[in-house]
């Protein structure tokens, strides 16, 4: 079968991306300071502070782990005795941090230990990558700075690549606007029996947070005025991460499970596209902001060294393997995308949104994804990414509109990805999605205009942790969406998270919701469960 049109679309997208990349490179020159002011350059090692002089608890932001491999997992913490003030109460000097990994939570049997420098250039964050760990095993870890000891974290390594594991249980989360409510869902997530958690973007929001914490409506505390402004500078983003990571429910989830993270838009600015800002700033100016946001993101997440930014650029897409059961291809659909068609928003699809030269992933990432599928031997190929993949019409009949910020606004990109999956022989495709603050369940159709066309995979969309406030089981447009999209099997507008259990025969999604986030302590329940059979994609009620 000829794939000539598919190849022509790839070349068109590559040419388009090449022009955009030129803008990125020229703008990167304006952000050069972010690439050069790193430990090991010039005066970075000039000063060292004695950790014993730290007089307040520096582990106020908790601990985290991430990106598990069979023999390693990233361990993270950040020293911040006073997290709500610039500099976080730390000296402008490097501080030695000791770390330990153990087989037991009491640290009687150590699996590894060492020392690392927490540099002021990285806001005194540390990223430890211990090696020599056993695959598919639970470990416990902690940090020490002077006389202070961090909370204990629990993590788990990935299975060996050739391992024939029988089951894997993951969770997917996204969209945690601090000012919209409490992170109650994370407290429940911390109690789940999981192998790993995928964060699909909008870890923080750039919008101002009032003194009472927005919808949290604090009565016993006041947040400093420095949070009541939009994040623009490196200091702004660092402080905003400190605010979010000081949340006890988020800390509990990170301490309980390893996270695999990717960003969406709000880690920088709402609905940005590559070097194009929401307010159409000059690209060079916007890329300075993007460099600050990317750097703060890396500083505050359990990411490996290859993901460390170079100015306004960072390689966040990456591939992780869980034995022979699952391959995870984590996407970045913000950094390389074409600008949204028709000026963004919801529009009737047309020539601009259908333009084969437009791309959501960039040509390089698209080739990487499809090449990885061709080499995959996994039972399930899972695609953790940000924006709704399946078609989502807002009305029945002619004249319906689609979201230009989602894959619907990049129809050629979606066609190429689905054609690539088919040509690679991917039979069991599972897409994980965030962004939209609701739970969806979709059958992915080869041709969304034809409800009877082949089902190419399934998409589980997780709702937000807090964004959108309390929400409703059936939003106002529920009946319209369900009627307009026959491939949509479920729609719920509460807050919560998603768990997905994979075994050799099925992929099962459980949609977990909480009744409220504007007040703390709401219970969690399962709103719906669906399964898709291996080799026969399509969602059915569990």
Q: Are 64 and 301 in contact (CB under 8 A)?
A: yes
* Co-location of 108 and 237 in the same domain: no
How many domains does the chain contain in total? 2
Residue 23 lies in a domain: no
Q: Distance between CA 295 and CA 299 in Å, rounded?
A: 6
Residues 151 and 163 reside in one and the same domain: no
**Is residue 26 in some structural domain?**
no
Task: Give the number of residues written for the chain.
Answer: 542
Contacts of 217 (CB under 8 A, 6+ apart): 518
Same domain, 130 and 179: no
Check residue 18 and give its pLDDT.
42
Residue 437 forms part of a structural domain: yes
With beta carbons less than 8 A apart as the criterion, state whether 437 and 468 touch: yes
User: Model's pTM, two decimal places?
Assistant: 0.93
Q: What's the rounded Cα separation, in Å, for the pair 276 and 284?
A: 10
pLDDT (tens digit per residue) in 482-491:
999 999 999 9
Q: What is the per-residue pLDDT for 11?
A: 42
- pLDDT, one tens digit per residue, over 200-209 is 999 999 999 9
Q: Are strands 346-347 and 402-403 parallel, antiparallel or unpaired?
A: antiparallel
Instruction: List, in order, residues 6 or more apart from 135 with CB less than 8 Å away.
Output: 70, 71, 157, 158, 159, 160, 163
Question: What CATH number has the domain bearing residue 400?
Answer: 3.60.21.70
Judgement on whether residues 57 and 200 belong to the same structural domain of the protein: no
49, two tokens: 């502070």
Within a 10 A sphere around the Cβ of 148, how many other Cβ atoms?
A: 18
According to the model, what pLDDT value does residue 39 have? 52
Last residue of a domain, one of 156, 180, 208: 156
Question: Which of 137, 156, 175 is the C-terminal boundary of a domain?
Answer: 156
Return per-residue pLDDT of the chain as tens, 542 residues: 333 334 444 344 444 434 344 444 444 444 444 544 555 443 445 488 887 889 999 999 999 999 999 999 999 999 999 999 999 999 999 999 999 999 999 999 999 999 999 999 999 999 999 999 999 999 999 999 999 999 999 999 999 999 999 999 999 999 999 999 999 999 999 999 999 999 999 999 999 999 999 999 999 999 999 999 999 999 999 999 999 999 999 999 999 999 999 999 999 999 999 999 999 999 999 999 999 999 999 999 999 999 999 999 999 999 999 999 999 999 999 999 999 999 999 999 999 999 999 999 999 999 999 999 999 999 999 999 999 999 999 999 999 999 999 999 999 999 999 999 999 999 999 999 999 999 999 999 999 999 999 999 999 999 999 999 999 999 999 999 999 999 999 999 999 999 999 999 999 999 999 999 999 999 999 999 999 999 999 999 99
- Characterize the bridge pairing of strands 94-102 and 138-145: antiparallel
207 shares a domain with 280: yes
Range of the domain at 120: 44-156
Phi, psi of 27 (to 5 degrees): -70, -30
Which residues, other chains included, contact 35 with Cβ-Cβ below 8 Å and sequence gap of 6+?
28, 310, 311
d(CA 441, CA 328): 19
What was the pLDDT predicted at 256? 98
* Residues 340 and 395: beta-carbon distance below 8 Å: no
Contact 524, 185 (CB under 8 A): yes
User: Do 56 and 87 fall into the same domain?
Assistant: yes
The SS3 of residue 79 is coil
**Residue 416 Cα to chain centre, angstroms:** 23
At residue 207, the 3 state secondary structure works out as coil
Question: CA 413 to CA 359: how far, in whole Å?
Answer: 5
307 has which bridge partners?
none
Q: Which residues contact 202 (CB under 8 A, 6 or more apart)?
A: 174, 175, 176, 177, 263, 264, 265, 266, 267, 434, 435, 464, 467
Are 139 and 179 in a shared domain? no
Are 81 and 89 a contacting pair, CB within 8 Å?
A: yes
Burial 491-509 (b: 16+ CB within 10 A, else e): bbbbbbbbbbbbbeebbbb
User: Is 318 found in the same domain as 427?
Assistant: yes
410 and 520, same structural domain? yes
In-domain check, residue 34: no
Is there a domain that residue 99 lies in? Answer: yes
* 132 lies in the same domain as 271: no
Phi, psi angles (nearest 5°) of residue 31: -105, 25
Q: Is residue 118 part of a domain?
A: yes
Q: Is residue 78 domain-shared with residue 61, that is, in the same domain?
A: yes
Does residue 39 form part of some domain? no
φ, ψ (nearest 5 deg) of residue 431: -100, 130
Tell me which of 104, 129, 156 is where a domain ends: 156
- Token pair of 233 as six digits: 């500078």
**How far apart are alpha carbons 63 and 142 in whole angstroms?**
8
Distance CA 539, CA 528 (A): 12
Task: Report the C-alpha gap between 133 and 35 in whole angstroms.
Answer: 32
Both 140 and 172 in a single domain?
no
Question: Would 128 be classed as within a structural domain?
Answer: yes
CATH number at residue 101: 2.60.40.380
* Angle subtended at Cα 300 by Cα 72 and Cα 152, rounded to the nearest 5 degrees: 55
- Its sign, for the CA torsion 105, 76, 302, 61, is positive
């Amino acid at each position: 079968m000829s794939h000539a049109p598919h190849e022509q679309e790839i070349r068109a997208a590559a040419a388009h991306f090449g022009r955009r990349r030129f803008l990125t490179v020229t703008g990167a020159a304006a952000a050069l300071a972010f690439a050069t002011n790193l430990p090991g350059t010039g005066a970075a090692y000039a000063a060292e502070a004695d950790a014993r002089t730290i007089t307040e608890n520096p582990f106020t932001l908790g601990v985290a782990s991430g990106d598990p491999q069979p023999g390693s997992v990233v361990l993270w913490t950040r020293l911040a005795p006073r997290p709500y003030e610039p500099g976080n109460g730390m000296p402008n000097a490097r501080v030695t941090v000791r770390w330990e990994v153990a087989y037991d939570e009491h640290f009687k049997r150590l699996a590894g230990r060492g020392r690392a420098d927490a540099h002021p250039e990285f806001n005194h964050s540390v990223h430890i990558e211990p090696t020599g760990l056993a695959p598919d095993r639970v470990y416990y870890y902690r940090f020490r700075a002077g006389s202070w000891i961090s909370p204990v974290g629990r993590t788990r390594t990935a299975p060996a690549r050739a391992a024939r594991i029988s089951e894997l249980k993951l969770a997917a989360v996204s969209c945690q606007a601090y000012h919209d409510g409490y992170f109650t869902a994370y407290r429940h997530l911390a109690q789940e029996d999981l192998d790993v958690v995928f964060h699909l973007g909008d870890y923080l929001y750039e919008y101002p947070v009032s003194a009472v914490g927005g919808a949290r409506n604090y009565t016993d505390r006041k947040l400093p005025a420095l949070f009541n402004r939009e994040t623009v500078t490196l200091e702004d983003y660092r402080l905003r991460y400190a605010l979010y990571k000081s949340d006890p429910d988020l800390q509990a989830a990170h301490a309980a499970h390893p996270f695999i993270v990717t960003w969406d838009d709000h880690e920088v600015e709402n609905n940005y596209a590559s070097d194009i800002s929401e307010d159409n700033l000059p690209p060079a100016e916007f890329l300075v902001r993007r460099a600050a946001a990317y750097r703060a993101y890396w500083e505050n997440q359990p990411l490996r060294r290859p993901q460390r930014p170079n100015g306004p650029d960072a390689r966040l897409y990456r591939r992780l393997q869980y034995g022979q059961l699952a391959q995870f291809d984590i996407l970045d659909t913000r950094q390389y995308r074409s600008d949204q068609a028709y000026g963004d928003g919801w529009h009737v699809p047309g020539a601009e949104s259908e333009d084969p030269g437009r791309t959501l992933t960039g040509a390089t990432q698209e080739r990487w994804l499809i090449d990885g599928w061709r080499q995959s031997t996994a039972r399930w190929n899972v695609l953790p990414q940000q924006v709704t993949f399946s078609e989502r019409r807002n009305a029945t009949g002619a004249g319906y509109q689609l979201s230009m910020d989602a894959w619907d606004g990049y129809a050629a990109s979606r066609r190429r990805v689905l054609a690539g999956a088919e040509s690679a022989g991917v039979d069991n495709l599972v897409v994980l999605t965030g962004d939209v603050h609701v739970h969806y369940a979709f059958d992915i159709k080869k041709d969304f205009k034809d409800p009877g066309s082949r089902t190419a995979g399934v998409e589980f969309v997780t709702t937000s942790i807090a964004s959108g406030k309390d929400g409703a089981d059936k939003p106002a447009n529920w009946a319209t969406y369900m009627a307009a999209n026959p491939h949509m099997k479920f729609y719920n507008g509460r807050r919560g998270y998603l768990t997905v259990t994979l075994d050799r025969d099925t992929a099962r999604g459980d949609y977990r919701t909480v009744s409220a986030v504007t007040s703390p302590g709401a219970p969690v329940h399962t709103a719906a469960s669906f399964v898709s059979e291996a080799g026969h994609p399509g969602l059915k009620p569990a």
